[in-house]
Amino acid sequence: MSSSAENPTLTAEITKPSTEIATETAQSAKKITLKTSDDQIFEVEESVAMEFATVKSFFEDAPSSTDTVPLPNVPAKPFSQVIEFCKEQIKFKANPDETEKKRSNSEFVKEKTNEDLVEMIPVANYLEIKDLLDVLNQAVADRIQNRSVEYVRSFFGIDNDFTSEEEALLREEHAWAFEDVDED
Amino acid sequence: MSSLPLEMIAEILCRLQAKELLCCRSVSKPWCALIDGPNFVKLHLKHSVDTSSNLYIILRTTSHVHYMSFDENLVLNDCVTLKELNHPLMCYNHGIKVLGSVNGLLCISNVVDDIAVWNPSIRKHRVVPFLPIELKRYFGTEISWPRVILHSITCLSSVFALIFFSIMTMRKNVYSKHDTMISYLLLVGAVLLDCHSITVLLLSDWAVIWFTSNKVKGASRYRINCLSPLLSLCRKRKRWSRSMGQHLLTSAPSNKPVKELREQYFAWELNSHSRVDVSNALKELIFEQVMGKRSGHDPRTSGFNVLELLTERGVDPPRRKTCFDKLGWSVAGVEFTESLLIWHVAK
């Protein structure tokens, strides 16, 4: 309760710098060209691209470079979703509202399929977007929480390499943990 | 769907609870190895600490341990639900002690000083091995079933003798007054003596271990529960009292020459049979020695012989210094007390 009471003063302090940032981005509005592993070209605003720590360090090493930045480990489909997430994030950078941010994050995650989430994790990891990685990991953890072993296997596309005896032994060791598991 | 590398899987799994991780162990061999590995354990702990998740309050009543999930009950709603944890040590209602906790592990002990390190989240525990240093007193108070039966027979017979004698003298007094009094005194004395030995037996380590072991069940368990306050009261003194009895050489079976020598050389010490405190360093030394001895003589193997163990007294140091051939006579050939004295004089 106390945090929401403090919020008005917080936002009042922040309004000024936030408008400055807005005008700055409007002025420069520099676009950065990024090339994914499947040769798709993405033109992204500089402020969004700077969210990717990997891209940021690329420009820190070569400040004047205007070339296309190759992203060899990033396929186009999850990358477009990552950009979508970062665009949302930038809004909260200027105006930090934790509850609103959480709501927007959970909404972002909610409409993604399991496959989308799992595909985005390596991309977020490669681009070193810590916030996104946190959100994705938590979302995946929530989805496999209290699910059966078979569900988890199919979720990640993992083959069972245990023999039936070995698996029975493992289950027997902690039989109580396999009780009360949600139906698939 | 392409599968994720294990380090990314680890980042996801460290957000799950212990119970779910136990299930995830049977997903595949790499997952099982990952979850069992020390790095993942650290990662999971770090994540729990950073995000204040997996917090529990452990509450202890005399013989039960309860837990309450911190994040579910206190933060979200006001209702408090206590759940009982089944702790692994035998105790009935003799009481269980929580000695301490770190990183989700609890150290607990019961009335017979069994100590266990216990992880309630995965319901596993390890009992700390029985300290071999305590063996000596354990041997001393060892009581077997024949002894219990013998004690009960003598106790019962003296009680019956007393009853019959009193009935006899009440009906027709054929004995003189003095005879009757002396007989009463003797019989009452015998009954008291037997009662005392039975009480000692009931309060011994052996009895406590037998009471708390699995064998006693049902109705007899209820009777033991009545006994328990008495038991815990009488067992104030720890089995390992952190002190050591001094050996009185004069009380040893050895004879005159030893006594004369003692009076000549050690008139100022060894006179009293007393107890001295043992420092931690000395305790550690004793512990190491006993462990070494134990590894050489496992009571579970068939060839175990206590006498053989005792004849080894004092043999080790000269053997280690490779002068056993020259000095071996001083420890192996003579009686133990004599050997002690020889080494005292030599020192």
Give pLDDT tens digits for A7-64: 444 434 444 444 444 444 444 567 888 888 888 888 888 888 888 888 888 888 776 6
Distance from CA of A24 to the nearest CA of B (A): 36
Any CB–CB contact under 8 A between A158 and chain B? Answer: yes
Kindly state the tokens that stand for B53.
């998740």
Give B36's pLDDT tier (boundaries 50, 70, 90).
very high
**Closest by Cβ to A156, choosing from B3, B32, B123:** B3
Are B15 and A137 inside 8 Å of each other by CB? yes
Q: Are strands A31-35 and B124-127 parallel, antiparallel or unpaired?
A: unpaired
Choose between B310 and A173: higher pLDDT. Answer: A173
Question: How high is the pLDDT of residue A15?
Answer: 40
B256-288 per-position pLDDT tens digit: 555 666 566 655 554 445 566 777 788 788 778
Q: Which of A134-138, B141-145, B205-209 has the lowest mean pLDDT?
A: B141-145
B295-305 per-position pLDDT tens digit: 666 655 555 55
- Residue of chain B minimizing CA distance to A116: B1
Q: Are B204 and B140 in contact (CB under 8 A)?
A: no
Question: How high is the pLDDT of residue B255?
Answer: 52
Q: Are B85 and B101 in contact (CB under 8 A)?
A: no
Whether B171 has a pLDDT exceeding 60, the answer reads yes
Residue B28: how many other CB atoms lie within 10 Å: 21
**Closest by Cβ to B1, choosing from A118, A145, A159:** A118
**Closest by Cβ to A171, choosing from B12, B26, B29:** B26
Distance from CA of B35 to the nearest CA of A (A): 13
Hey, of B22, B23, B44, B84, which one would you mutate to test binding to chain A, going by the most A CBs within 10 A of its CB? B23
Give B186's pLDDT tier (boundaries 50, 70, 90).
very high
| pLDDT mean over B12-22 | 90
A113-154 per-position pLDDT tens digit: 888 888 899 999 988 888 899 999 999 999 998 888 999 998
Size of interface A-B (CB pairs under 8 A): 77
Question: How high is the pLDDT of residue A46?
Answer: 83
Choose between B83 and B135: higher pLDDT. Answer: B83
Q: What single letter denotes the amino acid at residue B95?
A: G
Q: Which of A26-30, A85-89, B33-37, B38-42 has the lowest mean pLDDT?
A: A26-30
Length in residues, chain B: 347
Q: Are B81 and B57 in contact (CB under 8 A)?
A: no
Write out the H or E segment, with its range, that includes residue B242: none
Tell the CATH topology of A2-145: Potassium Channel Kv1.1; Chain A (3.30.710)
Q: Are A120 and A82 in contact (CB under 8 A)?
A: yes
- Which sequence spans correspond to the domains of chain A? 2-145
Give, rounded to a whole angstrom, the gap between the first and last alpha carbons of chain A.
Answer: 38
Q: Are strands A31-35 and A69-70 parallel, antiparallel or unpaired?
A: parallel
CA-CA distance, B128 to B113, in Å (whole number)? 10
Are B5 and A122 inside 8 Å of each other by CB? yes
Distance from CA of A16 to the nearest CA of B (A): 33
Please calculate the CA angle B93-B95-B98 and round it to the nearest 5 degrees: 145
Question: How high is the pLDDT of residue A140?
Answer: 92
Residue B27: how many other CB atoms lie within 10 Å: 28
Helices and strands of chain B, counted as H and E runs:
16, 9
Choose between B315 and B99: higher pLDDT. Answer: B99
Q: Which chain B residues touch A119 with a CB distance below 8 Å?
A: 1-2
CA-CA distance, B225 to B204, in Å (whole number)? 16
| pLDDT mean over A79-108 | 85
Residue A145 backbone phi and psi in degrees, to 5: -60, 130
**Closest by Cβ to B25, choosing from A137, A138, A170:** A170
Any CB–CB contact under 8 A between A21 and chain B? Answer: no
Predicted TM-score of the model (pTM)? 0.55
| pLDDT mean over B321-340 | 65
| pLDDT mean over B158-163 | 90
Q: Which chain B residues touch A178 with a CB distance below 8 Å?
A: 22-23
CA B179 to the chain's CA centroid: 50
Are A148 and B11 inside 8 Å of each other by CB? no
CA distances from B129 to A88, B115, B116, B140 (A): 58, 8, 9, 20
Residue B85 backbone phi and psi in degrees, to 5: -105, 135
Choose between A137 and B62: higher pLDDT. Answer: A137
Task: Looking at mean pLDDT, say which of A161-165, B91-95, B279-283 comes out highest.
Answer: A161-165
